[in-house]
């Protein structure tokens, strides 16, 4: 066997091994449905009442096909009739009550047609633009998606991502920078 034919055989073997690795990885992931893990941490001062006392907070988690309707929606419209406002983009909706100083973890199955995760905090007095956050969900790779983990903090009248650098290029006041 010549040196060049030996190299070709070795290259074919390496290619076959790589292809088998990719295929087996895809099958191993197939048994695990993707999910969304959301860690919610509430400060002691969340959602201040008339005398400054902390109050519980309603947080809605939306899985959405597109982000446009949520990013353009007003606080009052979402509070009054989110189903109509989000209409064709709404894939799934989940509600959480968060109490002052509470840490909560929410695990949701990731809907196949969802491309974005929207989080809306219904503060008693939404004085900042941080009552809404939007996060892009992982795209499919070889027909499969990986799960998504995010950490959120509620402080005073603000909902924001934490435990990662907050970069205005990535997020800007609850909206993706591509908006």
Q: In this structure, are 153 and 103 located in the same domain?
A: yes
> What is the predicted pLDDT for the residue at 162?
82
- Give the pLDDT confidence score for residue 27 in this predicted structure: 45
Q: Which whole number is the average pLDDT over 54-60? A: 97
Residue 3 lies in domain:
1-31
> 96 and 146 share a domain?
yes
Within 13 Å, how many C-alpha atoms sit on residue 21's CB side?
A: 6
Confidence of residue 168 (pLDDT cuts 50, 70, 90): very low
Note whether 96 and 39 are within 8 A (CB). Answer: no
| Coil vs helix vs strand at 116 | strand
Query: Which of 123, 129, 135 is CA-nearest to residue 171?
Result: 135
Same domain, 167 and 110: yes
4 and 56 part of one domain: no
Q: Are residues 17 and 39 in the same domain?
A: no
Number of domains in the chain: 2
* pLDDT tens-digit map of 102-111: 999 999 999 9
- The pLDDT of residue 143: 79
C-beta atoms surrounding 72 within 10 Å: 11
What order of strands is seen across the sheet that includes strand 90-98? Answer: 90-98, 57-64, 116-122, 132-136
Give the chain's mean pLDDT: 83
Q: How many alpha carbons lie under 13 Å from residue 133 in its C-beta half-sphere?
A: 23
For residues 47 and 57, the answer to whether their CB atoms sit within 8 Å is: yes
Residues 43 and 27 reside in one and the same domain: no
> Is the pLDDT at 74 greater than 50, yes or no?
yes
- pLDDT exceeds cutoff 90 at 178: no
Together in a domain, 70 and 120? yes
Question: Both 75 and 140 in a single domain?
Answer: yes
Closest CA to 64 of 73, 76, 56, 55: 73
| CATH number of the domain that residue 132 is part of | 2.60.40.4150
Based on the fold, state whether residues 22 and 54 are members of the same structural domain. no
| Token pair belonging to 49 | 């009442």
Distance CA 52, CA 10 (A): 72
Domain identity same for 149 and 121: yes
């Amino acid at each position: 066997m010549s040196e060049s034919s030996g190299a070709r055989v070795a290259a074919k073997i390496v290619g076959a091994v790589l292809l088998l690795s990719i295929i087996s990885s895809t099958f191993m992931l197939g048994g695990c449905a993707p999910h969304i893990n959301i860690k919610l941490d509430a400060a002691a001062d969340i959602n201040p009442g008339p005398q400054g006392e902390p109050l519980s907070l309603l947080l809605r988690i939306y899985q959405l096909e597109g982000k446009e309707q949520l990013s353009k929606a007003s606080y009052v419209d979402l509070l009054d009739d989110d189903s109509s406002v989000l209409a064709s983009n709404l894939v799934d909706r989940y509600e959480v009550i968060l109490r002052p100083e509470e840490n909560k973890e929410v695990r949701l199955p990731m809907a196949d047609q969802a491309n974005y995760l929207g989080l809306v905090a219904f503060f008693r007095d939404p004085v900042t633009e941080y009552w809404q956050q939007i996060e892009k969900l992982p795209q499919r790779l070889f027909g499969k998606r990986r799960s998504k983990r995010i950490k959120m903090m509620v402080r005073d009248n603000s909902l924001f991502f934490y435990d990662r650098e907050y970069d205005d290029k990535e997020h800007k006041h609850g909206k993706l920078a591509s908006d």
